Structure 1
Amino acid sequence: MVLDQNENFTTIISNLTTPVPGGGGGGGCPPVGIQLEGVILPPVLTIDVILGLLGNIVALWIFCFKLKTWNPNNLFLFNLVIADFFALVSLPLRIDALLRGHWVFGDGLCRINLFLMFSNRSASIALMTVVAIYRYFKVVHPHHRFNRMTKRQAVYVSLFVWLLVISPRVPMLAYNHIKGSGNRTQCFFFTSYKEASRAIIILVGMHRILTVLEFIIPLAMLLFCSIRISSFLKERQMGKPDKVRKAMRVCAAIVAVFMVCFLPTTVTTVGVWAVRSYRPWDCNAFYTFTQLTIVSLGLNFLNSALDPIVYIFSSSMFRKALCSSLPRALRCCQDTGDAENMASSSGTQSTSQHELKSLRADRGSEAM
Structure 2
Amino acid sequence: MASKPHVVVIGAGVIGLTTAVFLAEAGYVVTVVAAHVPGDSSIEYTSPWAGAHWRTHATVDEPEQCDWDVQTFQYWLELVGKEEKDSKVPKSGLRLEESIHYWDGPVTEDLWWAPHVLNFRQLNTFAEPIASINATRPAHAPEIKWGATSQAFSINVPQYFLYLQERARASGAVIFQSKLPTDGGLEKVLSAAEGIAHALKRGKVECFVNATGLGAREVCGDEGMYPIRGQTVLVKGEAKATRTRYHGGKIGEGSTSYVIVRPGSGTTILGGTKEKGEWSAVPDEATTKRILERCGWMAPELLTGKDGGFEVVSVQAGLRPGRVGGPRTEREVVKGRQVVHSYGHAGGGYQNSIGAARKTIGLVGESVGKGARARL
Choose between structure 1 and 2: higher strand proportion. 2
More helix by share: 1
The alignment's TM-score, normalised by the length of structure 1, stands at 0.25
With normalisation by structure 2, the TM-score equals 0.25
